[in-house]
Amino acid sequence: MAQITITLPDGSSREYPAGATAADVAASIGSRLAKAAVAATVDGIEADLHAPLTDGAEVAIVTADSDAGRDVLRHSTAHVMAQAVTRLFPGAKFSIGPAIDDGFYYDFELPDGRTFSDDDLAAIEAEMRRIVGEDQPFVRSELEPHDALELFADQPYKREIIERVTSAGADETDAVDVAPGSAISVYRNSDAFVDLCRGPHVPSTGKLGHFRLRKVAGAYWRGNEKGPMLQRIYGTAWESERALAEYLHRLEEAEKRDHRKLAVELDLLSFPSQIGGGLAVWHPKGAIIRKLMEDYSRLRHEHGGYEFVYTPHLANARLFETSGHLDFYADGMYPPMEMDNGTYYPKPMNCPMHCLIFDSRQRSYRELPLRLFELGTVYRYERAGTLHGLMRIRGFTQDDSHIYCTREQAPDEITSLLDFVLSVLRAFGFDDFTFHLSTKDPAKFVGGDDLWDDATSALRQALDRHGLEYTVKDGDAAFYGPKIDIDVRDAIGRAWQLSTIQYDFNLPERFGLEYVGADNERHRPIMLHRALLGSIERFFGVLVEHYAGAFPTWLAPVQVRVLPVATAHEAYADEVVARLGAVGARVDVVPATDQLGKRIRSAKMEKLPYVLVVGDDDVEAGTVGVNPRGGEVERGVSVDEFVRRFTDEVTSAADLALSA
């Protein structure tokens, strides 16, 4: 019998009989690998485990506990769900069912406009478990388009995909599970179920099982508002029961940290419906935190060489015609207001106003870089259904800066800007960053190639000088210039896009900005847009979730609570409060009308950093009992000592950041 040679990822080669499959390769390496295998990559292309290999192929086994492996599991689980739905809802049409982050979904159209309920979800899940128990093989076959269209005669969405795949020049950006130009492949699970799919899939449904259906949602066919509304079922699937349980636990944890829930519990802010969707009012405890954030931001900008400006919330439409916002951003703007001498809009961005400040008089190269900073409140019209707590609202305040400088200054300016941004984010407790460089979209840009090359290399240089790893998002730039986006990872591993540094040569052009150079000629500056926390409101929401409401001492609305053990100790408690108040502590006292245990519990529920208990011993000795959040109780700490520790802790937060 003929032999074939297979190369493994470590470079070694092995011989197998002709017709061997990746499953055979996995089995020959070890039984554990064979068990964990869900698919393979053959010469870099994902393939089924039981596809026959060709001589000389490079084979890597994809295991269930890798990202690629989980994608295969999830995608296969989506198929099982589709099969379950067709069993339970005859006549259901199905469209696409991809793997997504942490799970999968599948979109269906049910006969007579029926919709799924939660009870249906339970029934579908039960049916899925039966299918898993049946251990049906996933059998791949490839078809001619004509035969595929016939096979899916009563599945209009599948037919549309097939037609799109087979038509030349198909739109490549479509998020369907079939790439244009590829062969039409289908997977058959049983006589009763066959699905159009690129694959790969696990060998059989018995490989699956650690899944859970999560929710039903409406979703437009191909994301198009004008297209039909389908019924989407979201599920999650993992390589083991343990990984599934961990994921479900993470969801619970995220729910507990939801800033909207904590905002109510901790009395931080609310969204009164009388005001309208996406518009918050800040209660005293939320407002003090926000004030501290803003004060800190101002302090850092003052030290960072920024000049403070203020600009109005409304502007004449002419301004946004000049800036181009009415051409490019009209959808995101509030509707216009007609007033005596013209049309006015609430500003969606601060940059046009800052350009007018630059342009208010002649500028010299000696003034550059000119860094204008504003906590500027902007209004953006977000569709009602997209509003989400503080994370997406209709009016918000940016810690916004526009830096005007020469093209030559840009690399150094961006380099120090990166330092500045990271140092401020660190002060708020973030230290895990991801960087993205977005480059020119060939379909949508202004400015010449040399400008773009120059700008992109300035950003790249800054990242390289800091030795930062970054991913490049080709074609993701705004039309006016490339940008760096910075994501932070929070305490439970979620990524939030916060900061952005955008290079802009368009706006200076539009506003005709000029400075006089050392050569006595007029030159055009370039402009850097830079938001650091981004939206103060959103950043506040991220902080609430990052800290789960337990703000670090320097940001906590109430830093210290003093609890007299009994009424007799209240006078002494007031003395302690006065001592702490004198060093600027936010401190309060709760008298002994309730039992001590209950008052401690309340303070813990409010997540206060320090509870000080004072009783007979303390009055006698001038001490306090210190009960820190998340720490051990310590009796008999002198008031002087506690005041010293407290001030050290609070000032070190700001000092650390200022010296960085």
Partner RNA sequence: GCCCGGAUAGCUCAGGGGCAGAGCAACGCACUCGUAAUGCGUAGGUCGUGGGUUCAAUUCCCACUCCGGGCUCCA
Q: Does 613 bind RNA (CB under 7 A)?
A: yes
Q: Residues 56-75: x/- map of binding to RNA (CB under 7 A)?
A: --------------------
Task: Write out the two tokens for 406.
Answer: 């020469």
Please give the Cα distance from 585 to 134 (Å, whole number): 66
Kindly indicate which of the ranges 79-87, 197-205, 283-291, 531-539 contains the residues binding RNA, using the contact rule CB under 7 A: 531-539
Active site residue 483: yes
Quickly count: other Cβ atoms within 10 Å of residue 286's Cβ: 21
b/e for 51-76, b at 16 or more Cβ within 10 A? bebeeebebbbbbbeeebbbbbbbbb
Strand-strand pairing, 515-516 and 37-42: unpaired
Please give the Cα distance from 423 to 418 (Å, whole number): 8
Q: Does 388 bind RNA (CB under 7 A)?
A: yes
* Residues 538-597 contacting RNA, CB under 7 A: 538, 565-568, 592-597
DSSP reduced 3-state for 133: helix
CB of 198 to RNA, least distance (A): 19
Active site residue 529: yes
Query: Which residue from 86, 311, 323, 398 is in contact with RNA, where contact means CB under 7 A?
Result: 398
Q: Does 260 bind RNA (CB under 7 A)?
A: yes
Active site residue 351: yes
Query: Which residue from 223, 335, 442, 467 is in contact with RNA, where contact means CB under 7 A?
Result: 223
CB of 79 to RNA, least distance (A): 20
Selecting among 210, 363, 529, 538, the annotated active-site residue is 529
Active site residue 569: no
CB contact at 8 A, 418 and 466: yes
- The rounded Cα 610 to chain-centroid distance in angstroms is 32
Please give the Cα distance from 656 to 660 (Å, whole number): 6
CB of 48 to RNA, least distance (A): 28
Query: Which residue from 127, 195, 485, 504 is in contact with RNA, where contact means CB under 7 A?
Result: 485
CB of 139 to RNA, least distance (A): 31
Active site residue 398: yes
Q: Does 633 bind RNA (CB under 7 A)?
A: yes
Q: Between residues 117 and 190, which has the closer beta carbon with respect to RNA? A: 117
Q: Does 483 bind RNA (CB under 7 A)?
A: no
CB of 329 to RNA, least distance (A): 9
Q: Between residues 21 and 231, which has the closer beta carbon with respect to RNA? A: 231
- Single out the residue of 507, 452, 515, 501 nearest to residue 481, CA to CA: 452
CB contact at 8 A, 526 and 504: yes
HEC sequence for 219-245: EEHHHCCCCCEEEEEEEEECCCHHHHH
Q: Does 169 bind RNA (CB under 7 A)?
A: no
Active site residue 79: no
CB contact at 8 A, 646 and 583: yes
Kindly indicate which of the ranges 81-89, 160-168, 238-246, 387-395 contains the residues binding RNA, using the contact rule CB under 7 A: 387-395
Q: Does 622 bind RNA (CB under 7 A)?
A: no
Q: Does 635 bind RNA (CB under 7 A)?
A: yes
- Single out the residue of 562, 552, 578, 575 nearest to residue 611, CA to CA: 562
Q: Between residues 211 and 515, which has the closer beta carbon with respect to RNA? A: 211
- Single out the residue of 23, 130, 144 nearest to residue 81, CA to CA: 130
Selecting among 79, 140, 483, 569, the annotated active-site residue is 483
The residues annotated as belonging to the active site are 351, 380, 398, 400, 402, 483, 529
